[in-house]
Amino acid sequence: MSSSYAARSRYYKTEVDGQRLHPETQMMSYGYDPSLSEGALKPPVFHTSTFVFNNAAEGKAFFEVAYGKREKDADEDPGLIYSRINNPNLEVLEDRLRLWDSAEKGLSFASGMAAISTSLLAYTRPGDVVLYSEPIYGGTEYLLRNILPEFGVTGVGFTTWNEERALSIAVEEAKAIVAQSGGKIASIFVETPANPTNCLIDLQECRQIAEKIESTLGHRPLLMVDNTFLGPLWQRPLDHGADIVIYSLTKYVGGHSDLVAGGVVGSTELLTPIAGFRTILGTMCDPQTGWMILRSLETLQLRMTRSCENAKRIAFFLLDHPMVTSVGHLDHIDKADPAYQVYKRQCLGAGSTFAFDIKGGEGEAFKVLDALKVIKLAVSLGGTESLMEHPFTMTHADVPDDVKKRLGVSESMLRISVGIENADDLIADLRQALRTIES
């Protein structure tokens, strides 16, 4: 049984009686054929490093296709070879993952950072520039600021809140760098909404700028979007001009704070070089984790919907609270703010991770955190349980103080990732914790 599991599976139904099946329905069956596994309703975990070939010619044929030595025939299965190249659990996972974004292909990785670094390495070469939105996830920032420069790749940051660092200005800086280096502007890497400020980046505008760069420099930078915060339910970047969508599956998709994994979805053409790099760098997901994510995907829509509703209620509670000075929940963007139009066009929901400011500073923020009884004091986000943290001294501790000030990350800011508990319980916990700083 060594030909590719996914390719032999007959479970690729996409509609029934004229009804197009939704991803939340597909998560229970798509891409897995029980008859290939003794009728098991759920896919077994394929804890195996390697796969047995039926004969030598088959082994040769599988390698020819896997290493791109020839195109596979129309009726040929890409065979299972070795779990760094492919594995049934990952094939099923990747088929299901891509459905949420209506993408042609999906890839799974050992972590969100494995997905980000493998994708950037696949598409950048010495002399190239990567334009990236700020603030961005700390690991991504470190990669762009400290590691990729060692390989001759320059990261140039841009923001939406500081005109001196607007994308149009960053593009001019990037053009000057590539004019010297002979490289290209390889990609525009965007994280929207930004963490923890929930600043939004307009993806359509990024795409237009990428096309403008193509018309002058002859190469269109790929628009790569880290969709961890709102995706895959509340934001579909491929609908707004993105080329490649990246996830930390550790967060909402895994959703139970019990695994670390990453994903990339997009066209087969654009993902093929990333898959090639993944095979050699060895940044793929492992079968056990892949199986756990399959389980998580079955409840993804339920969990994200519930946590989004809870977050809405908590945001209203905080807005009314005398000790809270501002709430960064996306539903409460001022209608006069240009970000409001971006939110309406680009997002399908506000998600459930946001920051708010309280009266006071670090002392008061810590007092609130230390008083929590239901909500846990921890970084990370997107799990079933609610978590709170202090970005200034925790997730964003590495960001220089003056940059934090510019970003609006202050000592009085707290970030909450709202889970799927009863919202009244969460509000009661926040109420008693905030009481400790009321004078």
Which residue lies nearer to ligand PLP by CB, 98 or 251? 251
Q: What are phi and psi of 376, to 5 degrees?
A: -90, 145
Which residue lies nearer to ligand PLP by CB, 231 or 287? 231
391 interacts with ligand PLP by CB under 6 A: no
132 interacts with ligand PLP by CB under 6 A: no
Provide the minimum distance between the beta carbon of 94 and ligand PLP in the complex, in angstroms, as a whole number. Answer: 17
The distance in angstroms from the start CA to the end CA of the chain is: 70
Beta bridge partners of 354: 416
Write each residue from 261 to 300 as x if it is in contact with ligand PLP (CB under 6 A), else as -, in one continuous string. -x--------------------------------------
Q: How many CB atoms lie under 10 A from the CB of residue 96?
A: 23
- Out of 226, 357, 389, 411, the residue judged to bind ligand PLP by CB under 6 A: 226
- Out of 248, 296, 310, 410, the residue judged to bind ligand PLP by CB under 6 A: 248
Could you tell me if 239 and 100 are in contact, meaning their C-beta atoms sit under 8 angstroms apart? Answer: no
Tokens of 70: 């020839």
Name residue, tokens 């961890």. Answer: 228
- Out of 137, 234, 354, 392, the residue judged to bind ligand PLP by CB under 6 A: 137
- Alpha-carbon distance of 294 to 297, in angstroms, equals 5
**Among the candidate windows 12-20, 226-234, 280-288, 317-325, which touches ligand PLP by CB under 6 A?**
226-234
- Alpha-carbon distance of 129 to 222, in angstroms, equals 12
Provide the minimum distance between the beta carbon of 139 and ligand PLP in the complex, in angstroms, as a whole number. Answer: 5
233 interacts with ligand PLP by CB under 6 A: no
What is the edge-to-edge ordering of all strands in the sheet holding 376-377? 324-327, 353-358, 413-417, 387-389, 376-377
Which residues, 54 to 113, sit near ligand PLP by CB under 6 A?
A: 111-113
Tokens of 360: 């006071």
250 interacts with ligand PLP by CB under 6 A: yes
**Amino acid identity, position 134:** E
Q: How many CB atoms lie under 10 A from the CB of residue 402?
A: 8
Which residues, 112 to 131, sit near ligand PLP by CB under 6 A?
A: 112-113
Residues that bind ligand PLP (CB under 6 A): 111-113, 137, 139, 191, 195, 226, 228-229, 248, 250-251, 260, 262
